[in-house]
Amino acid sequence: MPATSPASTTFERLLIAALAFVAVLHSVHNLMPESALLAAMPGYSLARIETVGNAVTLVLAVLIYFVMARRLRDYQAVHREFTRQHAKDPVSGALARGQFLRKLQSELERRRTSGSVAFVIIDIDHFKQVNDVFGHPAGDEVLGFCTRLARETFPDATVGRLGGDELAVFMSHDEQIPESYVGEACDAYLAALREGLFINNRRQSVSASLGIAMAPSHTCNLNELLSYADLALYEVKRNGRGAWSVFSTEILADMRQERFIERELRAALLLKQLTVHYQPIVDADGQLNSLEALVRWHNPVRGVISPAEFIPVAEKSRLIHDLGLYVMQRVCEDMPQLPGVPVNVNISAWQLKHDAFLRDYIEVLERNGVTPDRVILEITESAMLNTSDDFVARMAEIKRAGFKIALDDFGMGYSEFNQLRRLPFDIIKIDKSYIQNIGTDIVTDTFVSAVTQIAGQMDRIVVAEGIETRDDNVRASVAGCRLFQGYYYQPPVALADITMLYEDPKRLSTAA
């Protein structure tokens, strides 16, 4: 930024003061009679006085002009430097949000009648967990890494950071950009991310979800383009993340369908239309160890609605806590007829952030005369858990209340082994994607073996999920798993069926 010296400032002030003084003299000259003016300045004619005054005024005006011109250039330089500094995001190196959107708006207007623009939103998956586990400097590295790869894999594209864990890219061309071309670029980008970067001297894979919208085929309106890309992005997240999707009218129909499901789910909770089924968790001899409670919904109009369809809607609409309490109430009502083993009740990682979570669940148990040791809280979406001191303290509070804690879907996300070290859980449920691939690749075998060995050292139980065949069962057992769950043993069934299946609860183990 150009600096103005004190001497320069003083000179400018003297010039302005002199010009003001001359202006005052001119005013006095205009007001004084000619005779008085000539008497005050003997030896000068009236014409000469006016000539000298005009000359002095002109010189002062020219000097002030040059001073002000220099000052204006200084301010313009400051403005250019300010714009340059704020045009780029200092963390990622991408364009800042405002600058990026201005460029995109300009390009949309230019391509309104000819050519096309492809717009891609990039959402880094589980970015918060990177910051929580590795620290914010590591998060900054990931942002820079994702930005660099975006420049490499999207040719001649403009890359910006929209905020937080969200980047964006747009490509512009005189001809129509094929969606297949954009898709290939997205595939290349995701593949490059999976190669990963080194964090704390360890290679860490990165995943992202991408939403695509095209102009003018979808819209030329900036806000609509952003909204459409967001809808496509949400579609990817709903289907498991780590992929890309192009906006379509079907996505809008899906959004309307979600709103319908949300309304119907609220009604189903109120009218008690949801039921609970139970799936056994058994030991190596097939003896019952515990049960998992799984919610089911038979809608009077649509028939059976899959949990994979309505639970994400419950998560997004924050109905998940109400749904969890509903299931807990039904399990408590079923307890007298169930075998005398603990029951796993699924809770969302989001619910653990709810201030009233523990109080509400204990109230349900007390109202039904059930003790917490009959319940295992099975945390779904374990990849979304953080290991901050506050969160660890909250889980410890749940343990002190008498609950056991199971970590579900273990093997997904960034923080698994840090979770093993930090979180006070009792049971690890290894994700079925690992269990069903034991013996097919060395990475899976090493991962499962490491988990079972660590769990053994920490006196924690490992459950193999997704046992569908005898081979799955044998491989999981050889890998060190001691409890098993899956269709090979028993699919989820209604209360009456589970009661018939285990008519003699005295022969069952009650240890979890």
pLDDT score for 69: 72
Residue 221 confidence (pLDDT) above 80: yes
DSSP letter for each residue of 216-238: TTT-S-HHHHHHHHHHHHHHHHH
- Which of 277-286, 305-314, 373-382 has the largest mean confidence? 277-286
Residue 8 confidence (pLDDT) above 70: no
Decide if 346 contacts 327 (C-beta within 8 A).
yes
Number of helices (H), then strands (E), belonging to the chain: the values are 18, 16
Average pLDDT over residues 236-252: 88
Average pLDDT over residues 153-163: 92
Say if residue 322 is exposed, middle or buried (CB neighbours under 10 Å; 0-12, 13-18, 19+): middle
Return the sign of the alpha-carbon dihedral for residues 25, 26, 30, 34.
positive
Tokens of 421: 């070290």
Residue 242 confidence (pLDDT) above 80: yes
Phi, psi of 322 (to 5 degrees): -60, -40
pLDDT score for 512: 36
Q: What is the rounded end-to-end Cα distance, in angstroms, of the chain?
A: 68
Residue 420: pLDDT band by 50, 70, 90 thresholds? confident
Q: How far apart are CA 382 and CA 428, in angstroms?
A: 10
Average pLDDT over residues 382-393: 68
pLDDT score for 383: 47
Decide if 143 contacts 124 (C-beta within 8 A).
yes
Mean pLDDT of the chain: 84
Average pLDDT over residues 145-157: 94
> Which helix H or strand E contains 403, and what residues bound it?
none
Residue 510 confidence (pLDDT) above 50: no
pLDDT score for 153: 95
pLDDT score for 360: 95
Instruction: Please write the tens of the pLDDT for every residue from 293-349.
Output: 999 999 887 889 999 889 988 988 789 999 999 999 999 999 999 999 999 999 987
- The one-letter amino acid code at 339 reads P
Among 242, 413, 298, residue whose Cα is nearest residue 307: 298
Residue 52: pLDDT band by 50, 70, 90 thresholds? low
Residue 131 confidence (pLDDT) above 70: yes
pLDDT score for 414: 47
Phi, psi of 452 (to 5 degrees): -65, -35
pLDDT score for 302: 83
Decide if 295 contacts 307 (C-beta within 8 A).
yes
Average pLDDT over residues 173-186: 94
Q: How far apart are CA 119 and CA 170, in angstroms?
A: 4
- Which of 66-70, 124-128, 349-353, 372-376 has the largest mean confidence? 372-376
Bridge partners of 291, per DSSP, are: 280, 343
Say if residue 375 is exposed, middle or buried (CB neighbours under 10 Å; 0-12, 13-18, 19+): buried
For 30-189, strand residue ranges (E) read 116-124, 158-163, 166-173
pLDDT score for 498: 94
In terms of residues, how long is the chain?
Answer: 512
Lowest-pLDDT range of 206-215, 237-246, 299-308, 411-420: 411-420
